[in-house]
Structure 1
Amino acid sequence: MGLIYILQHIYYAGNLIENNLIWLSKEIPAWNSTEVAWSCPGDSKTQNCFFELLFNMSHYVKLCNWLLCNSFYELDSIACDLIPGIIPVGPLLLGNQLGGHAGSFWTEDSTCLSWLDKQSVGSVIYVAFGSISIHSKQQFEELALGLELIGQPFLWVVRSDIIDEPLVEFLDGFKTRINDRGMIVQWAPQEKVLAHPSTVCFLSHCGWNSTLESISMGVPFLCWPYFADQFNNKNYICDVWKVGLGLNPDENGLITRHEINTKIKTLLCDDGIKTNALKLKEMAKKSVTKGGSSFKNFESFIEQIKH
């Protein structure tokens, strides 16, 4: 939502200064100019296309009679109030209704649910980076070695295109070492995984759908944003809602195995984060039940389009 105002700022003031902070309100996290949505990985042509897309989107938003938002008012009331006419109607969780294929072209591997059934309650680290994020071979191997260091069960979604280099030899050795302690799939039924009692935390890219799904299930985050709104989502997760921790790269831009190991262990010992996550879960549930804010917003929207 805040992207609209950032785009307007750029349009009237010119290019942003590197590492400049943009405050839409002193009560919500600032945007770092190096982390805005069009500062995505790739060449300048890709970034320009993304900027144009978002800028045009801001124009069409102004023409809308209604602007439905997959969030709930209590989660971010200040940001909602910044945009007149916005209607929060979330969280919208569709996996069960659509047979487990909501919003993805990847085929889910539901065998991971049987594997989760065999794990202890609150023991499994779920690792997934959405359908776009990619890693260098070095970064991928550091992540794998970090999960190996932790010494507890993990479920890791590894898309076939997550890196551009061959992984077979490394993964074969990795799988041999971890044996049955970890499971690797190309895609997972994420809502069901997050709702499973064995899942203890979510190592995530902080995409908005993933963020809402984890909030709705009361699962704490370990944040590894990649591009677009994910950096701002991470700021909310860590600094506003306090339901997760962020991973920090070293001086070479690498998130090391030791950083991963340390942060996950810290997260799992933080009772405050766990408590906050459960509170948000209840807020999300209340918002979509009869009398809740999103429930009433959706009812009001339906009434408006009837007349």
Structure 2
Amino acid sequence: MDSGAIINQKKPHVVFIPYPAQSHIKCMLKLARLLHQKGLNITFINTQSNHKRLLKSGGTFHWLDAAPGFQFKTVPDGLPDSNSDHEVDPHTQTIAELWSYLATNFFDSFLDLVAGLETPVTCIVSDGFMTYTNMLYAAEKLRVPIIIFWTLAACGFMGFYQLKILMEKGLVPLKDESYLTNDYLEMEINWIPGMEGIRLKDLPEFTRSTKPNDPGFKFLLETAQVADKASHMIIHSFEQLEFNLIKELKSTFPNLYTIGPLQLLLNQMTEKETKKSSYNGYSLWEEEPECVQWLDSKEPNSVVYVNFGSIAVMCLQDLLEFGWGLVNSGHEFLWIIRTDLVDGKPAVLPQELEVAIKRKGFVASWCSQEEVLNHRSVGGFLTHGGWGSIIESLSAGVPMVCWPVSGDQPTNCRQMCKEWEVGMEIERNVKRDEVKTHVRMLMAGEEGDRMRKKAMEWKKMAETAAGSGGSSSLEIDKLADEIKKLSRN
């Protein structure tokens, strides 16, 4: 399962540990590539089944042929380690099961893995959401510095970090379930520069917890507290987008690096690759080229792209409301329906809706999202509001309609609508008429035109940040230099 490469003994050696989910792996792989191109050796650790899925998704690691000093290693994930050629079923293990297994087993597996590496480790770059596996203690035990990478926006990180502060103020957990319906969650949080006016309900779902001993609540509290123990942190954002908030964070965490958008930074360094090939090689699912072929036949800015990410699930009724809303909008749409999107199972649509979709839509199970968002025919994005999706949409200059589900998505959605002015929100209890109205506004209304203009402004600022001498370009150089200094200590 492992893939190895010759590691140069004289170069700094960085071990990457992503949280084992699509968007986290994709984000960390891109940073690993950037640091590798800056002259660092990389060992990238996946769970066994995820690594097998990456290898089988098609076109993966095409850039590794010219990447000596970049290797992959794997740790067990609780699934049988099969050497067969059959594709690993991604649904034989829930996120909760994987989370539980890694909490118990990752620490020892990681120490064994590091002990077997031929080259000493200079530092560890760990996903902030993997710290529940005792990564800080592992780094201390190995006497290796650790850098925490939050694959989030600054607002997303700050949303999670608020749990510690809200607990200190006695605002969470909720005293009882009546607080869910008595407008308590409408309370404004007025102490975060750059997030003025944000409400409790716009923060991650911990604001809805009534039990301090709830495993999810405890996990998020421990994750929030990790930031205070980390000497160096990375956030996937850029200064122009969240200037006041990043300034505030850097006053609290001086060794903080903002290095986004990662794809635009990679575009600066991979000029020999075509744009299309530079987008690929990071997916746990096979990307269907028919999506782009269908888009090629459409008019500029005429298609709504619909994708609710790699983890979010919905009930069948929600899927039907979205489906009829899209059909009734009258606009053409490309809709990604994962095989596990509806309650973790394949979706079965009524025949009447299937027939209606075929008139205006194209349905696929996965696609190359960045290639789609950068396609000339895509004029809007209906998204769950995951940070990977939002920063990719901003990088492409595409406005959004957001249906936030969990995690940092409500925070991202609020900032997208209120601060960055590139989106509109659909209520959690989705209705087809609301979907229809929002899609029409996005694609043909004055509001959509205004948001599209604003999105193009953010695209230009993102390109400036990632360009030569830009803020993110300088930050990635600082990060690489800091790691090289560690190797000399």
Normalised to the residue count of structure 2, the TM-score between the two structures is 0.57
Give the one of 199, 223, 239 matched to 1:32. Answer: 199
Query: Who is 1:167 aligned against?
Result: 347
Equivalents in 2 of 1:149, 1:4: separation in Å? 37
Written as runs of structure 1 = structure 2, the 5 A alignment for 1:120-139 is 120-139=299-318
Q: Does 1:67 align with 2:233?
A: yes
Query: Who is 1:77 aligned against?
Result: 243
Give the one of 239, 258, 261 matched to 1:88. Answer: 258
Map Cα deviations across residues 39-79 of structure 1 (whole Å, 9 max, x no partner): 499x9899933322222223332232321111001100111
Contact 2:198/2:414, CA 8 A, preserved across alignment:
no
Greater mean deviation of Cα atoms: 237-246 or 277-286: 237-246
Map Cα deviations across residues 60-107 of structure 1 (whole Å, 9 max, x no partner): 3223232111100110011112222221011112795676242x4222
Query: Who is 2:430 aligned against?
Result: 255
Equivalents in 1 of 2:171, 2:420: separation in Å? 31
Query: Who is 2:135 aligned against?
Result: none
Query: Who is 1:232 aligned against?
Result: 411
Equivalents in 2 of 1:296, 1:243: separation in Å? 27
Question: Structure 1 stretches of 5 or more lacking a match?
Answer: none
Equivalents in 2 of 1:49, 1:211: separation in Å? 28
Query: Who is 1:12 aligned against?
Result: 168
**Largest Rg, 1 or 2:** 2
Query: Who is 1:283 aligned against?
Result: 461
Equivalents in 2 of 1:231, 1:292: separation in Å? 29
Question: Structure 2 stretches of 5 or more lacking a match?
Answer: 1-156, 175-183, 267-274
Larger RCO: 1 or 2 (CA < 8 Å, sep 6+): 1
Query: Who is 1:274 aligned against?
Result: 452
CA shift, 1:13, in A, is 2.6
Greater mean deviation of Cα atoms: 130-139 or 18-27: 18-27
Contact 1:215/1:280, CA 8 A, preserved across alignment:
yes
SS of the aligned residue for 2:191 comes to coil
Written as runs of structure 1 = structure 2, the 5 A alignment for 1:142-161 is 142-161=321-340
Greater mean deviation of Cα atoms: 61-70 or 12-21: 12-21
Once superposed, which parts of structure 1, at least 4 consecutive aligned residues long, lie more than 4 Å away? 43-47, 94-99
Equivalents in 2 of 1:259, 1:306: separation in Å? 52
Note closer, same or farther for the CA distance 1:174–1:29 as it changes in structure 2 (3 Å cut).
farther
Contact 2:335/2:364, CA 8 A, preserved across alignment:
yes
CA RMSD in angstroms comes to 2.6
Normalised to the residue count of structure 1, the TM-score between the two structures is 0.89
Give the aligned residue type for 1:182.
G
Query: Who is 2:471 aligned against?
Result: 293
Note closer, same or farther for the CA distance 1:44–1:136 as it changes in structure 2 (3 Å cut).
farther
Map Cα deviations across residues 192-250 of structure 1 (whole Å, 9 max, x no partner): 0000000000001110010000000000001111111111111111111111111235x
Equivalents in 1 of 2:459, 2:349: separation in Å? 41
* Aligned-pair identity (%): 29
CA shift, 1:35, in A, is 4.3
CA shift, 1:274, in A, is 1.2
Map Cα deviations across residues 117-163 of structure 1 (whole Å, 9 max, x no partner): 01111100000011121222211111100011011210001111111
Equivalents in 2 of 1:107, 1:262: separation in Å? 33
Greater mean deviation of Cα atoms: 26-35 or 265-274: 26-35
Note closer, same or farther for the CA distance 1:247–1:64 as it changes in structure 2 (3 Å cut).
same
Give the aligned residue type for 1:89.
I
Note closer, same or farther for the CA distance 1:99–1:277 as it changes in structure 2 (3 Å cut).
closer
Equivalents in 1 of 2:432, 2:215: separation in Å? 35
Q: How many residues align?
A: 300
SS of the aligned residue for 1:219 comes to coil
Contact 1:40/1:47, CA 8 A, preserved across alignment:
no
Note closer, same or farther for the CA distance 1:100–1:272 as it changes in structure 2 (3 Å cut).
same
Give the aligned residue type for 2:324.
L
Give the one of 387, 406, 422 matched to 1:243. Answer: 422
Q: Does 1:111 align with 2:267?
A: no
CA shift, 1:110, in A, is 1.9
Equivalents in 1 of 2:329, 2:371: separation in Å? 24
